[in-house]
Structure 1
Amino acid sequence: MKKASLWVVLALLFGPLTYAQEVSYEEYDLANGLHVILHQDNNAPVVTTSVMYHVGGKDRANGKTGFAHFFEHLLFEGTKNIKKGEWDILVDSNGGRNNANTSNDRTYYYEVFPSDKTELSLWMESERMLHPVIEQEGVDTQNEVVKEERRLRVDNSPYGRFAEELFKNVFEKHPYKDPNIGYMKDLDDSTLEEFMAFKELYYVPNNAVLVVAGDIDITETKGWVNKYFGDIPRGKDIFRNYPDEAPITQEKRAKAYDANIQIPAILTAYRTPSFTSREAYVLDMVSTYLSDGRSSKLYKKMVDDQKQALQVGAFNFSQEDYGMYIVFALPVGETSLDTLTNEMEEEVTKLREELISEKDYQKLQNKFESRFVNSNSNVEGIANSLARYYMLYGDTSLINKEIEIYRSITREEIKDVANTFLNPNQRVILEYLPQPKTK
């Protein structure tokens, strides 16, 4: 996917927030540990079947990065009962579509089918869990696919490596320091036995949540779930013990070079707590205040009024263990990166020293209410939200009550959180520069 600007990269990587309207659901566990969530919506003859596995880029041994992302590809190779190359054919021929994606914290597979194909979708996901074919030929094929993906999206894409550069400077010990896609040498050096062991550990029912959302009959769907998933053996219990990061107490500066860009960028990043923390919700509001729309503080000041930046933005990039709060800008003309840094810091300083106005606070609340009202507009989004809130937040009901957290955030709390996490001595400043031309 071609990326035209750093803003596009950030928007795609860190994405918009999602909020939930009132959603009814039923959830329960199978004896093998698989958590099941069913949401019935008979307004359209469509169903989304999804499985989220609690495994992502951070789940790796040293020297074995990128396994979860690699498996995102590998588990489309085929199964005992679905031959190599026939997965997508089976989906297309039955009027469906499917995809998967991997973050540092989880992997998500899903199909969207006409609702009369619900049983087919459940059988296919049970095949992926129970009977995947993992052979050297498939490993070699997907290794080349992943390499091409890295070349396209990272190595040869404008601003494609900024995320890797930020992560490795913000994190020193935690696995978040390594790229989700992995280092290609690690994949090249890994054996088939190591891939098999990874599958046996993580792609098991007790490390997964199954969601079926859409035009379903609850009783009938429960029968199919039990038929196809009930006999899958439970896996071993998974224990995670990742190293803690020491607080950043002194500003750190770094530089990175990109041969694919002509305009430099300046990025400031602060390490922040888990997305399950209340502070992460407050930082969501800070991001909206600083850079959501043309009337936001950073955009109006640096792009419209002072004409110093081509683009400017702030993102709260939340993750399960730690997050990053990122502020970035691209300069206009001869504007220096130091000038951009100072102008961005001036707005953050105001957050630390002053309460935002009542007018701006109400504007924030209105935006979050609007997002809540318009969220989960289709069963595909609902399926994703249900899986995510259960698996990563440990509370499925957040799909309906998360808005209450935002409603309860005060102006004083915004100021306090800015003072806790967004100080100059807690930041990493990354200059992302065009590769110098060699003579």
Structure 2
Amino acid sequence: MKKIVLSLAVAFATATGLAQEVKYTEYDLENGLHVILHQDNTAPVVITSVMYDVGGKDGDRARTGFAHFFEHLLFEGTENIERGEFMKIIPANGGTFNANTSQDRTYYYEIFPSNKLELGLWLESERMLHPVIDQIGVDTQNEVVKEEKRQSNDNRPYGQILSAVGENLFKVHPYKDENIGKMEHLDAATLEEFKSYFDKYYVPNNAVLVVAGDIKIEETKKLVATYFSEVKRGPDVTRNFPKEEPITETIKAIKYDKNIQIPAIIGAYRLPGQSTRDAYILDMISSYLSGGKSSVLYKKMVDEQKQALGVQAVNLGQVDYNIFALFALPQGEVSLDTLLAEIDEEIIKMQTELITERDYQKLLNQFENQFVNSNSSVAGIASSLATYHLLYGDTDLINSQLELYRSITRKEIRDVAKKYLSPNQRVEIQYLPNKEDQ
């Protein structure tokens, strides 16, 4: 019944254009840990989460993949938690957990019954305060990461698309390297290198702690102080990544994938980072082009002209540079060049004409729906609070971001499409079956 009521509430909020304000309290501990608390007593659930400002782009380029490696390694155990017990304690207490790593950040979280709040805080403080980083753990997780890479990248159809885009779109910025890293880099790394990486990035002043759900603010503040105040502040992390030169002539590349039979075409653009206004406008452009079966490209190329098995435009948000990528799979004997030409035809229309008022309102409705849905669960709210603070520098985007989208005009959509989405500003990748299969 609660799920039905929640679904109706989300549907009503979307239909009326209303989104309930997310209230939160935020402050810093003396050691620099940023804390965000959100109280929601509608269900006896609490989430404890920590987002670290470290991702695939960070660290020595001869040692790629360390952030993703630590996503796994920091579940190994601590001075007070035996090896392998971390992941047993959580389900034994009615909880669930997960972690994920992007190029820009690493996120750990646990969801517990609210009477286990203190346990969740203890676990995350243990991870930060004194994890056990030893050769046994490194060797164990090295094999885990290798298997993940085999399953997710090496042996999965189209699993190397993102790496193909990264290595061709970026020449000097660390976004050029796979988030999961190179296995030879992990194999060559010493235990001291792993320890040094932890000491540099997994410090309280490089992290945000979010506690959300069935809590009492003042009691939670005391618990946070109890478990996190003794963690020592680390050196401030400074970044000075090299800047990419603008793309002014089309870059053509070929990538082979032994796991596919149907080729694909990719057109990728390197664009301003996710916190810029233009990045928000490009979100709307990507949705206009391929946001669902009623979108421009899907209707034209899949439904009507039957040229493509699938077509997509994606604006991948990142801190330093976004990736705007076009992707299509041909149907029958349709050439890859034809697919790209058909996509470009629709982009040219966007560059020269205003989208219709009806399409504009449809876009606004889509983003309102996404916004409301993202804040319809405690887990979603916790992730959004951490992300907006750490990666955007503005926690209150959880309440104001929808207004930002609403403020975008049809003229801005046209102008931004014209500014960034020309063929001479992109990488074109033919993603083909393995040479041996030709």
Number of residue pairs the alignment of both structures matches: 421
Alignment of 1:281-430 (within 5 A): 281-430=280-429
Q: How far apart, in 2, do the equivalents of 1:102 and 1:360 lie?
A: 35
Instruction: Give per-residue Cα distances to partners, 1:403-434, cap 9 Å, x unaligned.
Output: 01101000110011111111111011111011
CA contact (8 A) 1:313 1:327 kept: yes
Structure 1 residue 165 displacement after superposition: 0.5
Ranges in structure 1 where 5+ consecutive residues have no aligned partner: 1-18
The amino acid across from 2:32 in the alignment is G
Q: How far apart, in 2, do the equivalents of 1:294 and 1:113 lie?
A: 38
SS of 1:300's equivalent in the other structure is helix
Q: State the TM-score, normalizing by the size of structure 1.
A: 0.95
Counterpart position of 2:12: none
Q: How far apart, in 2, do the equivalents of 1:66 and 1:438 lie?
A: 31
CA contact (8 A) 1:258 1:433 kept: yes
CA contact (8 A) 1:250 1:426 kept: yes
The amino acid across from 1:30 in the alignment is L
Counterpart position of 1:11: none
Counterpart position of 1:79: 78
CA contact (8 A) 1:263 1:331 kept: yes
Q: How far apart, in 1, do the equivalents of 2:47 and 2:123 lie?
A: 13
Structure 1 residue 437 displacement after superposition: 2.7
CA contact (8 A) 1:21 1:375 kept: no
Counterpart position of 1:53: 52
Q: How far apart, in 2, do the equivalents of 1:194 and 1:150 lie?
A: 22
Structure 1 residue 295 displacement after superposition: 1.2
Q: How far apart, in 1, do the equivalents of 2:139 and 2:115 lie?
A: 36
Structure 1 residue 373 displacement after superposition: 3.0
Instruction: Give per-residue Cα distances to partners, 1:33-68, cap 9 Å, x unaligned.
Output: 000000000000000000000000000112010000
The amino acid across from 1:356 in the alignment is I
Counterpart position of 1:67: 66
CA contact (8 A) 1:21 1:399 kept: no
The amino acid across from 1:224 in the alignment is L
Structure 1 residue 92 displacement after superposition: 1.0
Instruction: Give per-residue Cα distances to partners, 1:165-193, cap 9 Å, x unaligned.
Output: 01000000000000000000100011000
Structure 1 residue 231 displacement after superposition: 1.2
Counterpart position of 1:235: 234
Deviating 4+ runs (over 4 angstroms): none
Counterpart position of 1:9: none
Instruction: Give per-residue Cα distances to partners, 1:316-351, cap 9 Å, x unaligned.
Output: 011000011111100001001011010011111111
From the superposition, tell whether residues 425 and 157 of structure 1 become closer, same or farther in structure 2 (CA, over 3 Å): same
The amino acid across from 1:277 in the alignment is T
Counterpart position of 2:271: 272
Structure 1 residue 22 displacement after superposition: 1.5
The amino acid across from 1:228 in the alignment is Y
SS of 1:352's equivalent in the other structure is helix
Alignment of 1:76-225 (within 5 A): 76-225=75-224
CA contact (8 A) 1:65 1:182 kept: yes
Which deviates further from its counterpart, 372-381 or 142-151? 372-381
CA contact (8 A) 1:20 1:399 kept: no
The amino acid across from 2:107 in the alignment is Y
Counterpart position of 1:35: 34
The amino acid across from 2:144 in the alignment is V
The amino acid across from 1:82 in the alignment is I
Q: How far apart, in 2, do the equivalents of 1:232 and 1:293 lie?
A: 47
Q: How far apart, in 1, do the equivalents of 2:20 and 2:85 lie?
A: 37
SS of 2:436's equivalent in the other structure is coil
Structure 1 residue 121 displacement after superposition: 0.3
SS of 2:435's equivalent in the other structure is coil
Ranges in structure 2 where 5+ consecutive residues have no aligned partner: 1-17
The amino acid across from 2:430 in the alignment is E
Counterpart position of 2:14: none
1 or 2 for the larger relative contact order (CA 8 Å, sep ≥6)? 1
Structure 1 residue 20 displacement after superposition: 7.0
From the superposition, tell whether residues 317 and 137 of structure 1 become closer, same or farther in structure 2 (CA, over 3 Å): same
Q: State the TM-score, normalizing by the size of structure 2.
A: 0.95
Q: How far apart, in 1, do the equivalents of 2:373 and 2:236 lie?
A: 38
Structure 1 residue 354 displacement after superposition: 1.1
The amino acid across from 1:270 in the alignment is Y
Structure 1 residue 438 displacement after superposition: 6.1
RMSD: 1.1
Instruction: Give per-residue Cα distances to partners, 1:216-267, cap 9 Å, x unaligned.
Output: 0111111110000011100001110000000000001101111111111101
CA contact (8 A) 1:20 1:402 kept: no
Q: How far apart, in 1, do the equivalents of 2:103 and 2:368 lie?
A: 29
Q: How far apart, in 1, do the equivalents of 2:263 and 2:21 lie?
A: 44
CA contact (8 A) 1:282 1:414 kept: yes
Structure 1 residue 358 displacement after superposition: 1.3
The amino acid across from 2:310 in the alignment is Q
Q: How far apart, in 2, do the equivalents of 1:89 and 1:418 lie?
A: 50
